[in-house]
Chain A
Amino acid sequence: MPVESVFPRLEALLPHVQKPIQYVGGELNSTVKDWDACDVRWALMYPDAYEVGLPNQGVMILYEVLNEREGVLAERTYSVWPDLEELMREHGVPQFTVDAHRPVGAFDLLGFSFSTELGYTNMLTALDLAGIPIEAKDRTEDHPVVIAGGHAAFNPEPIADFIDCAVLGDGEQAVLEITDVVRAWKREGRPGGREELLLRLARTGGVYVPGFYDVEYLPDGRIARVVPNRSGVPWRVAKHTVMDLDEWPYPKQPLVPLAETVHERMSVEIFRGCTRGCRFCQAGMITRPVRERSITGIGEMVDKGLKATGFEEVGLLSLSSADHSEIAEVAKGLADRYEEDKIGLSLPSTRVDAFNIDLADELTRNGRRSGLTFAPEGGSERIRKVINKMVSEEDLIRTVATAYGNGWRQVKLYFMCGLPTETDEDVLQIAEMASKVIAKGREVSGSNDIRCTVSIGGFVPKPHTPFQWAPQLSAEETDARLAKLRDAIRADKRYGRSIGFRYHDGKPGTVEGLLSRGDRRVGAVIRAVYEAGGRFDGWREFFSYDQWMACAGPALEPFGVDVAWYTTRERGYEEVLPWDHLDSGLDKDWLWEDWQDALDETEVEDCRWTPCFDCGVCPQMDTHIQIGPTGKKLLPLTVVK
């Protein structure tokens, strides 16, 4: 049956809302397929505003992978701002896709990509606007299967009541496997209804269906165990890992929006995974092992992508881009190739110890030499040993001095506050480090016109990391420590004027902490906040700490737990963690040992260039490290004019 576009009804509302262009679709390289010619239909949602969601690489990749398949269609949907939400409710316009403006409720599957837990209330808004029951147990065969993915899906327990499934890890192959299961079930005439479909998905071993697991609790509030309640459902659900990135050169045709978005560049993921072993970093832990895209694969993606988009900047993405085994050749090759075309290159994540001036020169050859950003994360040498960010102060000063000496005027330094074992003294050393940076910078540049910006936010312990057991610093203590640092910088008469200070207060971190390490009981808090009007929690102008706390108290009270129990409480070795049945490949005993090493201030090396330290991922997931060098060169491409 054809599904009608809601656009005519939406169109009448658009003159009354801010930035209507974000709701009309029509992006370059977007795809609208014939509804009736497809038998598996996906709606993909990034649960944040269009300007943030559109450039998301995960959604863009899955959109293209699915649409390339015969008989499968995928359309995108984003969170609507409250001005449009109000009008949609008033006029009965449902949540829609921006591609063909089809109602989201008409699709077979609705996939949410969660980079952060702060999108949970937006998911509930979208479900409700789509006419889909908020709780999975109330849905029927007529409703889409609601799937969560992205990094936050490694602990989907707080949203267990609202989703039908979660998928861990790389999505490229997983969405196609799910598509096949849904297609077979539909073609057979939907035997056994929704229950049977979810059972088939769960039995693949790679799809987590929370409804098929019971959580039992101990009298003290901790979890006793998590048990499957259907036969054939695995005790642990495994993450997905795509091997050989060169076989998955997506996005091939990146979307180019008309509306302004947060990233306007041609992004190429140059490798996936990271084994630097920073203990706070969830991304580095859950995306192992390292899999590089080859230099020639990168060159081809950049070439095709630029032609397809007309972007002026290329972003070489990964968790630590300067660590690619052939990064120097990649940067030089691209800078040579696009010198005429005024294409800029950017390397969003650069480690202090992997930075070198030749690379930086190549990156800025076709563009501006504006600022450099490094993330020492911890202010003292001691705390950097705790978090396994092996950067000595000398290294940092030397690197920064080289930058100032070569014409850069502005260096940004990122830090975290509230790291395990941290004291005021560790954080106050950030001020000293910044002073030394400026002193050295003035010396080597011979100029007083240089700046250093310290940017700092609260640390949130994450599941599947060695710090998953750690107590989180409370919002009040975080803010007090940040205030001391600010005062120390201001008190610096000689260098303070050259040091900028930017910080994020501790309140959003407490809510993120609750949602990150929460269990199913936290779902009641999310629902209560949503019902009280909570939206767009990642946005300062919408986020309300007081509302979260006011809702959390009564919602958690029946269970005998509270926000502090989830955030500032340290967990023990024996405790069953809410995500233990979700397998990221990391051996829990290895994580515990790494946690103990952190407390002993013992560092661990990177397994790319030292022997394996048995984190468990490769044997558990049957994967292996894939790195170069390939020794190949990027050929200059001459454009036929």
Chain B
Amino acid sequence: MRYTKRGRLRFTSHRDFQRAFERALRRADVPMAYSAGFTPHPKVSYANAAPTGTASEAEYLEIALARTRDIEELRASLDASLPDGLDIIDIVEARTGDFAEQLTASHWELRLDGVDPAEAGRAVRAFLAAETVEVRRQTKKGLRVFDARAAVVSLAVLPDPPDPAGSHGPDPHPCAILRLVVRHLIPAVRPDDVLSGLRATADLAPPVPAAVTRLAQGPLDEETGTVTDPFAPDREAAGAASTRAAGQRAAAVPGITV
């Protein structure tokens, strides 16, 4: 299942989302499979949640059902049972192996209000030119120091949109939009780590917190450096299965008529 965290609901933590989702399963009357044991839990596995405060167009989870349900009906009823902003946008039936292993990279957008795109461009070039960029992050286990450079596949400033008024002089409301493709390594490098890296290498300090959105998550195409659709293998498998089923039905028809 692919779902989003949009708008003000980007402040939902992963734990908050889990509770909301499990309640939505009940409201939508989804025939869940439960784990065995003293306190059975509905079988849900979550992959790679975006940090609290960052938006996402590409979060993923898997659920196990006790009975089959129509995929589109399931999507629509679950989506209707979740608050606006937490939206279920795509579902496929799992037919291949470990789905979480598909998620090897993320594509992020970082919106830096109040930052001049040219200045952001200089910082990005300095960051990319560096062999390693050491950053620190406060974790529950204390202050952690690690390299933010190696995981970065690409980082670029989006080209400035043409000024509609055609006016000259400095933009009174500058805004730089960065696109970032990052490999999922351990420790995970998050967009705020890259921002710390930009500050460390080029003193880039946005005046307001960056608005960060995950645009895509999936297998990294090493040749093009792009993030591809993690559902592709399951879609292909589903396509093959339906062709096979259709073929079997077609083959069976003469048998009935005999």
A27 within 8 A of B: yes
A16 within 8 A of B: yes
A628 within 8 A of B: no
Residues 24 to 76 of chain B near chain A (Cβ within 8 Å): 24-27, 29, 31, 34, 38-40, 52-53
Check if A258 sits within 8 Å of B12, measured CB to CB. yes
Indicate which residue in B16, B19, B39 contacts A368 across the interface (CB closer than 8 Å).
B39
Indicate which residue in B34, B84, B209 contacts A15 across the interface (CB closer than 8 Å).
B209
Indicate which residue in A12, A24, A342 contacts B8 across the interface (CB closer than 8 Å).
A24
Interface 0/1 of A261-303, CB less than 8 Å to B: 0001000000000000000000000000000000000000000
Residue among A12, A21, A639 with max Cβ neighbours from chain B (10 Å) = A21
Check if A14 sits within 8 Å of B40, measured CB to CB. no
B85 within 8 A of A: yes
> Can you list 20 pairs linking A and B with CB atoms under 8 Å apart?
A7-B8, A11-B8, A12-B209, A14-B11, A19-B13, A20-B52, A21-B13, A21-B16, A21-B52, A24-B11, A256-B20, A258-B20, A258-B83, A264-B19, A310-B24, A311-B26, A312-B26, A341-B26, A342-B40, A639-B29
Q: How far is the CB of A96 from chain B (nearest CB, A)?
A: 12
Residues of A within 8 A of B83 (CB): 26-28, 258
Residues of B within 8 A of A309 (CB): 23, 27
B9 within 8 A of A: yes
Check if A14 sits within 8 Å of B23, measured CB to CB. no
A256 to B26, CA, bound (A): 13
Residues of B within 8 A of A494 (CB): none
B15 within 8 A of A: yes
Tally of chain B residues near chain A (CB < 8 A):
30
Check if A21 sits within 8 Å of B12, measured CB to CB. yes
A464 to B24, CA, bound (A): 44
A259 within 8 A of B: yes
A307 within 8 A of B: yes
A23 to B52, CA, bound (A): 13
Check if A14 sits within 8 Å of B53, measured CB to CB. yes
Interface 0/1 of A418-446, CB less than 8 Å to B: 00000000000000000000000000000
A258 to B52, CA, bound (A): 13
Q: How far is the CB of B55 from chain A (nearest CB, A)?
A: 12
Question: Which residues of B approach A to under 8 Å, CB–CB?
Answer: 8-9, 11-13, 15-17, 19-20, 22-27, 29, 31, 34, 38-40, 52-53, 81, 83-85, 208-209
Check if B9 sits within 8 Å of A24, measured CB to CB. yes
Check if B11 sits within 8 Å of A307, measured CB to CB. no
Q: How far is the CB of B56 from chain A (nearest CB, A)?
A: 15
A309 to B39, CA, bound (A): 21
Residues of B within 8 A of A312 (CB): 23, 26
Q: Nearest CB to that of B212 among chain A residues?
A: A15
Q: Nearest CB to that of B8 among chain A residues?
A: A24
Residues of B within 8 A of A28 (CB): 20, 23, 83
Question: Which residues of A approach B to under 8 Å, CB–CB?
Answer: 7, 11-12, 14-16, 19-21, 23-28, 256, 258-260, 264, 306-312, 341-342, 368, 639, 641
Check if A259 sits within 8 Å of B16, measured CB to CB. yes
A27 to B23, CA, bound (A): 13
A25 and B29 contact, Cβ closer than 8 Å, known pairs A12-B209, A260-B15, A368-B39: no
Residues of A within 8 A of B20 (CB): 28, 256, 258
Q: Nearest CB to that of B34 among chain A residues?
A: A342
A641 and B12 contact, Cβ closer than 8 Å, known pairs A264-B19, A310-B23: no
Q: How far is the CB of A90 from chain B (nearest CB, A)?
A: 14
Q: How far is the CB of B107 from chain A (nearest CB, A)?
A: 21
Check if B84 sits within 8 Å of A26, measured CB to CB. yes
Residues of A within 8 A of B27 (CB): 307-310
Q: Nearest CB to that of A640 among chain B residues?
A: B29
Residues of A within 8 A of B208 (CB): 12
Residues of B within 8 A of A23 (CB): 11
Q: Nearest CB to that of A311 among chain B residues?
A: B23
Indicate which residue in B9, B13, B26 contacts A26 across the interface (CB closer than 8 Å).
B9
A411 to B9, CA, bound (A): 41
Check if B8 sits within 8 Å of A25, measured CB to CB. yes
Residues of B within 8 A of A12 (CB): 208-209
Residue among A15, A27, A264, A639 with max Cβ neighbours from chain B (10 Å) = A15
Additional pairs, 18, CB under 8 Å, beyond known A20-B52, A310-B81: A15-B209, A21-B11, A21-B13, A23-B11, A24-B8, A26-B9, A27-B83, A28-B23, A258-B12, A258-B16, A306-B26, A307-B27, A309-B27, A310-B22, A310-B23, A310-B24, A310-B27, A342-B40
Check if B16 sits within 8 Å of A26, measured CB to CB. no
Check if A310 sits within 8 Å of B26, measured CB to CB. yes
Residues of A within 8 A of B34 (CB): 342
Q: Nearest CB to that of A19 among chain B residues?
A: B13
Q: How far is the CB of A641 from chain B (nearest CB, A)?
A: 7
A312 to B208, CA, bound (A): 41
Residues of B within 8 A of A14 (CB): 11, 53
Q: Nearest CB to that of B210 among chain A residues?
A: A15
Residues of A within 8 A of B81 (CB): 310
A639 to B40, CA, bound (A): 21
Check if A641 sits within 8 Å of B29, measured CB to CB. yes
Residues of B within 8 A of A27 (CB): 83
A24 to B209, CA, bound (A): 17
Q: Nearest CB to that of B209 among chain A residues?
A: A15
Check if A260 sits within 8 Å of B16, measured CB to CB. yes
Indicate which residue in B9, B25, B31, B53 contacts A258 across the interface (CB closer than 8 Å).
B9
